[in-house]
A and B are shown apart, each in its own frame.
Chain A
Amino acid sequence: MIIQTENPALEIHDLTVSYDRKPVLWGIDLSVPYGSICGIIGPNGAGKSTLIKSVMGLIPLSSGYIKIFNQELDEIRLKVSYVPQRESVDWDFPASVLDIVMMGRYGKVGLFRNIRKADKEAAMNALEQVGMEKFYRRQISQLSGGQQQRVFLARALTQQADIYFMDEPFAGVDAATEKAIIQILRRLAGEGKTIVVVHHDLQSVSTYFNWIIMLNLRLVASGPTEKVFTQQLLEEAYGGKLTLLSEVGELMKKEQVPTRE
């Protein structure tokens, strides 16, 4: 069941994405309304991370297009923020919490220019929002998983974007952090920002999100939570791997067939 929305914040049209010719997302067509907190759910390897990476322009698209606020990504980069999976970086990097959070400002500051005082203040302000202001000088390797996630969230907040894409921000964090993060997301949504979150825990789906994208290599469902978060659709997304689809994918990789001629 795919429910489209008029005048969406995010629109994905006929999107196919492949790694080394092997498609991992097939013909995705969806839209997400302004101001929603949208959860992307689906089993491991369903292509959830791949979906938001393609939205962020990190993976070339095999076909289709993506529009954010009815514009190309490159036109509105500064309005779009990305929170990668926590494990995607090496936390033993020689940097302090403040260093990392200020990286969110690099796009605004521009090449060759130094960090300004205003950027530092924006970073401290973001740290306060996530309750980490006391840790601003802490070396990042000395943070707990929950604290690392808060730092990444703070880095995104300094971007002062209008739409946020987050990859599993609740994975492996403590209960207090989870609560703090969801409060921030709700506040952002209240200010009219749009939030798209890859999520793992089905228990909390209906309390956290008002829009759901269900994936399993293809789009199983997209729409308001109360309409699409149903037993039947969940079984469709989680029940049994779509063996045929992934076998065809493997085949395309083996034969090096392009997705579109």
Chain B
Amino acid sequence: MTDRLWEFVTFAYPNIKYVVLGSILLSISSAVVGCFTFLKKKALLGDVISHAVLPGICLSFIVSGSKNPFLLIIGASITGWISIVAMDYIVRSSKIKEDTATGLSLSVFFGIGILLLTYIQHSGNAAQTGLDTFLFGNAAALIGEDLIAFSLIAVIILVVVYFFYKEFKLISFDTQFANTLGLPVRTLELILTSITVLAVVTGIQAVGVVLMAAMLITPAAAARFWTNRLSIMLTLAAIFGAFSGITGAYISYASPSMPTGPWIVMVLSIIALISFFFAPGKGILIRVFKQYQNQRKFLGENLLKVFYTLGESNQNFLSYRSQEELMAKRAFKESTLAKGLTRLSREGFVTHHRAQWALTKEGYEKGKRIVRLHRMWELYLTEYLKIAPDHVHEDAESIEHVITPELELRLERLLDHPSVDPHKAPIPQKQQPIINNEQ
């Protein structure tokens, strides 16, 4: 295996170089174009085009009798392109909705393609072998003339995106506004469609009809998780594409029975999954982790609040209390309570003596602040939003945990340094001595 890896990375045979180069270029160009397809919410476009190129390939083979890549690409582009134009026309001039038109266009064109392919295979033309590459893809065949043709197209696509970057961005965000600026929106859409067709036509060579849509959309979807900037999204999608291109090429080199295309898509899917789970901000795991952290924070603060209010009732804020006493004030689960107390004591907000717990000075301050925020928020709701006093508690229960010190100051100023809440409970002041009446 390591030998193979070494051969691979050093391009020991020229073919390796070609296949790698081809796979990278194809993956990058479809990833970049796919970003716009993705943002325009036209994910199914790739599917339509990839199925619709088949009749074009067959027709150009029937007409020319050769597998010259340029001719095949031209044929493929023409039918791919017609399928999209037909779809748009159907949506615009009939009652048929976009999803139906998509399915219609896809199946009609693909049906004709299969028909033609069957015809060719039975015609006994010796040159036809390998045409079905387009069905399943074969990146290993990316050599010689083919490689040149496909690389050229990939480069053209990237150059077009570079020059029309600003316009593509605008028509992806707000087509109507683009129209009102007098930009040639129809033409721009046409150019974008055309390079999408070209990306599909070339990509199919590597991954085949069925997986092509994934080549287009997956890198974009994955990249979107990591960034909020279009330029970075395009770059990331391209990197994901390139990486999967290399990996796919390597895997099929290391074990020749493995196909390149499906592995490219496989790697892309793994990248997408990783993004889905781990991306900062949007990734699922990060969100779950944040929720978990919040729960921990809320529990701790709620505990300190309970200590504080118990202190209010017996005018002794620092006295030791049993778990039962705490649970009588607020319904904690016993195990949760124990865990919360242990953590608070580790953080230095409570101390314990046998099975009894008490606030430290820091714990007292923190508990006091939560109670203060709770009561100020209740006051704010009743005074400014005119909500009935018996309806404000629930709301304050969660808000008290999120108010920042700046907001606290503003709240305090707005309410003019209040001393009691709507339920006549005192609002603790920032500087107030700890009452600790040992009985």
Contacts and interface: CB of A to CB of B under 8 A. Distances in A.
B51 interface: no
A56 B228 CA distance: 31
Contacts of A155: 177
Interface stretch (B143-151, B161-169, B376-384): B161-169
A74 interface: yes
A77 B230 contact: no
A72 to B, nearest CB: 12
B174 A94 contact: no
A80 B180 CA distance: 8
Contact of B181 (A77, A90, A99): A77
Interface string A194-207: 00000000000000
B160 to A, nearest CB: 11
Nearest to B39: A93
Contact of B163 (A78, A84, A112): A112
B172 interface: yes
A94 B176 contact: no
B180 A95 contact: no
> Which label, helix, strand, loop or mixed, suits the secondary structure of the A interface?
mixed
Interface residues of B, number: 26
Task: Tell me which of A74, A94, A106 has the highest count of chain B C-beta atoms within 10 A of its own C-beta.
Answer: A94
A56 B180 CA distance: 6
A114 B182 CA distance: 17
A84 B182 contact: no
A233 interface: no
Contacts of B173: 89-90, 93, 95, 100, 103
Contacts of A175: none
B170 interface: yes
Contact of B182 (A78, A99, A100, A139): A78
Contacts, number: 74
Contacts of B181: 77, 106-107
A161 to B, nearest CB: 10
Interface string A82-105: 101000111001111001100100
Contacts of B183: 106-107, 111
A75 B216 CA distance: 40
Contact of A141 (B174, B184, B228, B229): B228
Of the four ranges (under 10, 10 to 19, 20 to 34, 35 or more), the interface on chain A belongs to: 20 to 34
A141 B224 CA distance: 13
Contacts of B178: 106
A58 B186 CA distance: 12
B174 A57 contact: no
Interface string B87-128: 000000000000000000000000000000000000000000
B228 A58 contact: no
Contacts of A184: none
B185 to A, nearest CB: 10
Contacts of A95: 169, 173, 228-230
B227 interface: yes
A82 B166 contact: no
B233 interface: yes
Interface string A116-153: 00000000000000000000000101000000000000
A23 to B, nearest CB: 18
7 contacts: A57-B179, A74-B182, A77-B182, A94-B230, A95-B229, A103-B173, A111-B164
Given A77-B182, A103-B174, A106-B166, 10 more contacts: A56-B179, A74-B182, A84-B174, A93-B172, A93-B230, A95-B228, A96-B228, A106-B178, A107-B181, A112-B163
